[in-house]
Structure 1
Amino acid sequence: MSWVRGNFIGRGSFSTVHLAVPTANSFSEIAAPTAVKSSEVLFCSFLKNEKEVLDCLGFCPHIIQCSGDGFSFENGGEYYNLFLEYAAGGNLAEHIKKQGGRLPEADVRRYTISILKGIQHIHAKGFVHCDIKLQNILLFDNGDVKIADFGLAKRTMEREEKQSREEKQSEWRGTPLFMSPESVRDNVYDSPADIWSLGCAVVEMVTGKPAWNSPNGSELSNIYSLLLRIGVGEELPEIPKELSEDGKDFLRKCLVKDPAKRWTAEMLLEHPFIKHDGEEKSSPRTHFDFPDWVSSTSSLTPTSPESDQWREWKFDTSSRVTCFCSPVDQLRQVVTKERPNWSESESESWVVVRQE
């Protein structure tokens, strides 16, 4: 691949993100615009893990796509580079700040649906993201959001090789404010952990504040006390009062201390909060107030009574469909010298509309 490092986009714990610009007059595999996530080779294990996970996940419209990787030598150092889709809208946390600190419920629902579908795909492929948070949800120009940053992702417990007790105790994955109780307490990182993190992200979308906000309103500075609140006891993040009842119930299905009782991504996709389409059905106010009814006019239908087409249409008694004809012809077919048959045999089908 032939490219040069462009404008700076952002920085993570072990990597930086820039625009990757294809060089002029080169046949590059890099599509413009593309982001390049880079790390020194000595610290590139997370980036390499992200590449492996994204390759295993394959295509999903709700997950950031990878277009390749490679090495480069810059300023006397060797770097590992990962090429990813460029999200011009930044991350969801930045977007919320620009919107005044919180989002309307319709937007929360729309973003949650995309994130949830991405999580469903991740879990179906046998992986756990382990770091679902608003900073890792990227926003595109068309309004779509996609899950990004798979550096901490891992296979589910069912598929991974058994680790020793010492290895599990030393494992630390995720951002404390979004970590699940079982992750904090038992170093367990399975599919339900992502659902807990999703619940925390939804709370932050609604309120503009972390789900584990400090009781006195100050910033959380003591990580140890935070982890105690998450992993020990029965305390749960507060459900935002401004949410609808469906929204509140959705969060109650995510923020469950016991991971075995937490809803799965598949179950949550069927929740009323997600299935709600925002359309209200109402009775018609007039005879013509039927929005789902579409009238179609045949090209053979006369456009006006004065049209010559009136004389070309017939009265079809066999099919019980009245076609257009001239008024004179129509009267001739309606007016007849024959007396109508009022026999009793016909009266069984009569309907009494008034009786005095």
Structure 2
Amino acid sequence: MIDAHFSRAIHGSVSRWMHDNPLEFCLSALNNPVELGATLLPAIVTALEDVNISLYDVQRIAWSNPLIHLRAVFDVHELPETPTAFIPVPDVATTVAARACAVACLAALNSDTISYGSENEGYLFVNLVVLPGDDDFADKSKADMRGHTDGVTFPLRGQLHEFDKRVAPSPDFVCLSGLRNPDEIITTVMPLSAVLQQLTCDEITELTKPQYVIRPQKTFKRGLRTLFGKDSPLLDAMAGIQLLFEGDDGYWIRYSHSAGDADYDSKLASQAIKRFEQACLECSTSVVIEPGDLLVVNNRVGLHGRGMVGGEVGGNSRWLLRTYGLDTQGLTPEQRYDGSAFKLFP
């Protein structure tokens, strides 16, 4: 029931805000998501308090579950054809509402809406759509995706990057807004707690050792090469990496099936990562993101993927928007880009 009340609170706050302001003003407000979140949050708090729910209750659910599925958070009216590129997001009333709802949702979770300069030119929101052509990106946009965390080569919040302290943490949350999903393509989520229950204590211990290799994911790799050149060390595979981290409230994970393997010729290390992959398949749950929905995936305690997309390019094909949320209180100035309220390094 908390999810339903949270959905209605966000819907009411954003709907009133858009009703009271011209579309051009609402669109410009997205350039500073911190200020926008602060503007929208009081109405959300009031709506939740009216049904005896606190922000703490919502945040507790977000940190004890791998996902929050918020239904009918924004209204879907007329849309243009589905874009055929990651960027830019078309500026129409429905996409403004979808973006504002994501900002409001993440603000309620004590997170700022952020991007990284090295992914999709630092745009705050990107289209998740089928891409034209036959290159790697086009093929990947049609294929299914196995479990992963986003920004896998970036450190967890509270830690420094292995060799460049300017690198900001990976996101706490991945937020997906549904605009179209005519074929009801599933988004898959793997709860870390359930995955680890399938592993032995020894296998879990192996995953906490710095003995694995991770590589930049494709969308970041292209941006890193553009920004820093093909010889940037940020493009290299990173060896001696820990995947699983134990904290006061349980484990956090950084992992990608397509970007990680064992660093050393260790049977135990290789066995642990293979068992982890298998457990992800066994513990996968699926969600259909309908138009008007938000799906918030906790990037620390959940891995996510999707089913096969395929289908047409453009037209009325599947269209989600994606952005990231992060508690930015501990960031240093060098982990941010000058002149941007949301863009983080690299």
The TM-score bracket by the shorter chain reads: under 0.3
Q: Based on CA coordinates, which of the two structures has the bigger radius of gyration? A: 1
Tell me the TM-score normalised to structure 2 length: 0.24
- Higher strand residue share: 2
Tell me the TM-score normalised to structure 1 length: 0.24
Looking at both structures, which has the greater relative contact order when contacts are Cα pairs under 8 Å and sequence separation is at least 6? 2
